[in-house]
Amino acid sequence: MNIVQPKLWTQDFIIISAANFFIGLTFYLLMTNIAVYALEEFGASKSIAGLASSIFIIGALVFRLFAGKYIEVTGRKRMLYGGSALFLLAALSYFPVENLNFLLLVRFIHGAAYGICATAMATAVMDIIPRERLGEGTSYYTMSFTLATAIGPFLGVFISQQLGFTMVFLICTLFSVTSTIIPLFAHIPAARISKKQLEAMKGFNITNFFEVKAIPISIIIFLMGFSYSSVMSFLTTYASNIDLIDAASVFFLVYAVFILISRPFTGQLFDLKGANLVIYPALIIFALGLVLLGLTKHGFTLLLAGAIIGLGYGTMVSCCQVIAVKESPRHRVGLATSTYYVCLDGGVGVGPFILGFLIPLVGFRGMYLALAALVLTCILWYYLLHGKKESRRRRDDYAASC
């Protein structure tokens, strides 16, 4: 007998995914240009130019904490609409920038708005996706941002080189207008939360900023983000050192394509067979990609590493988010989402700083091989933090069904 699955591709799901895509485009268009803009327009030092880029992430990280805490208190719809309006206002604020301090302030506010929007949308979409198809739905939803990682950097470089920075800001404003308007046509589900639960989420207790049940898998994703930051931050320099800069220019395109190809299948496999059957291979594949990157001497090998890293790391990002949500109480999905992304962004954020001390000691190749070893150790950490419980749960479910 065929079991009819609940519908995934609803109007609300499509609208929120589209809004996520346009926010991602804005993020990557600016991320690829803002350091160069600071250098060329204001004569900034390289460190300050780097800060102009990274302070966006700092703003997002700080405000994700507060967004996760207050989303159910304030209301998902209000937070999404307010965050979207602030995101648009920040995009408009690049036009009157006349000095570095103002630019840094705008970047921080823009990052804060992004943190609020992204948390509100991810929380809403977790409720829109049918519980039985959470793995598949999350994979498709996160693909909207992955698509932006493939298109955004290319558009950003092309527009800045051909039309100038003002046009970059104009295009980002248009994308921001789009991401602000289209959520107005979606039904944003309110949290199913009692007055007692709502009162418990108020105050400044540490558990009101982090979802405890989401922390174990968030530790794993922190280590994944830390490892992946080596690719995001140092690939171009590494490729230049080994004379593979041409291959490196399309590395992230290959990376994104393989995420787009694999995520629907890994999401469905997650729903059908459980987390362990997806997570353990993904960890091994990610580690293999880092090994290949550390040993590469040819352009083809570099791009193959990009494909493998896309399969491994890309799968980890979407599937670990599902675990964080499933492990948490439904009225604390916003906090679980915030906890997850704070750890992911934190890993990506601190990685370059710490790895910068490692590179002079072991070189780029040694760094990638060391990170491959770190990812392999996460097999044990995953087993202890979640995998063992997942196996026991599936055995109990199987026994109950017999």
- Statement to judge: residues 178 and 308 lie in one domain: no
Whether residue 108 is contained in a domain is answered as: yes
- Residue 1 confidence (pLDDT) above 50: no
- Statement to judge: residues 224 and 249 lie in one domain: yes
DSSP 193: -
Per-residue pLDDT, 180: 94
- Statement to judge: residues 125 and 229 lie in one domain: no
- Statement to judge: residues 165 and 237 lie in one domain: no
Whether residue 87 is contained in a domain is answered as: yes
Token pair in block for residue 149: 């990682």
**CATH number reported for the structural domain that contains residue 332 in this entry:** 1.20.1250.20
Whether residue 196 is contained in a domain is answered as: no
Query: 166-187 pLDDT, tens per residue?
Result: 898 999 999 999 999 999 999 8
Q: How far apart are CA 154 and CA 346, in angstroms?
A: 25
Return the half-sphere exposure (C-beta side, CA atoms, 13 A cut-off) of residue 63.
Answer: 23
Q: Where are the alpha helices (DSSP H) in 163-214?
A: 165-181, 195-200
Q: Which residues contact residue 88 at a Cβ distance below 8 angstroms, ignoring those fewer than 6 apart? A: 173, 176, 177, 179, 180
Helix axes 100-128, 34-42, angle to 10 degrees: 170
Apex 151 CA angle, 320 and 289, nearest 5: 45
Question: Which of 142, 157, 189 is a domain's end point?
Answer: 189
- Is pTM beyond 0.85? Reply is no
- Could you tell me what percent of the chain has a pLDDT over 70? 92
Whether residue 105 is contained in a domain is answered as: yes
Whether residue 198 is contained in a domain is answered as: no
Token pair in block for residue 391: 């196996």
Q: How far apart are CA 64 and CA 218, in angstroms?
A: 14
- Residue 204 confidence (pLDDT) above 70: no
Q: What rounded mean pLDDT belongs to the chain?
A: 86
Q: Which residues contact residue 380 at a Cβ distance below 8 angstroms, ignoring those fewer than 6 apart? A: none
Whether residue 197 is contained in a domain is answered as: no
- Statement to judge: residues 401 and 377 lie in one domain: yes
What would you measure as the largest C-alpha separation in the chain, in angstroms? Answer: 70
Question: Which of 189, 214, 241 is a domain's end point?
Answer: 189
Question: Which of 128, 159, 189 is a domain's end point?
Answer: 189
Lowest mean pLDDT among 117-121, 228-232, 307-311, 396-400: 396-400
- Statement to judge: residues 352 and 226 lie in one domain: yes
- Statement to judge: residues 229 and 84 lie in one domain: no
Query: 124-157 pLDDT, tens per residue?
Result: 898 898 888 888 888 888 888 878 877 877 787 7
- Statement to judge: residues 23 and 111 lie in one domain: yes
Domain of 317, in residue numbers? 205-402
Q: Which residues contact residue 42 at a Cβ distance below 8 angstroms, ignoring those fewer than 6 apart? A: 99, 100, 103
Whether residue 343 is contained in a domain is answered as: yes
Higher per-residue confidence, 239 vs 85? 85
Site of tokens 């327009």 = 41
Token pair in block for residue 140: 């498709």
Apex 107 CA angle, 103 and 108, nearest 5: 120
Count structural domains, the chain: 2
Q: Which residues contact residue 199 at a Cβ distance below 8 angstroms, ignoring those fewer than 6 apart? A: none
Query: 243-267 pLDDT, tens per residue?
Result: 988 888 788 888 888 888 887 788 8
Whether residue 199 is contained in a domain is answered as: no
Lowest mean pLDDT among 17-26, 159-168, 211-220, 362-371: 159-168
Burial classification of residue 142, based on how many CB atoms lie within 10 Å of its CB (0-12 exposed, 13-18 middle, 19 or more buried): buried
Assign 268 a pLDDT band (cuts: 50, 70, 90): confident
- Statement to judge: residues 176 and 212 lie in one domain: no
Q: How far apart are CA 268 and CA 216, in angstroms?
A: 23
Got the DSSP string for 11-63?
HHHHHHHHHHHHHHHHHHHHHTTHHHHHHHHH---HHHHHHHHHHHHHHHHHH
Answer yes or no: are the C-beta atoms of 80 and 121 closer than 8 Å: yes
- Statement to judge: residues 264 and 131 lie in one domain: no
- Statement to judge: residues 222 and 184 lie in one domain: no
- Statement to judge: residues 169 and 225 lie in one domain: no
Query: 71-80 pLDDT, tens per residue?
Result: 877 888 899 9
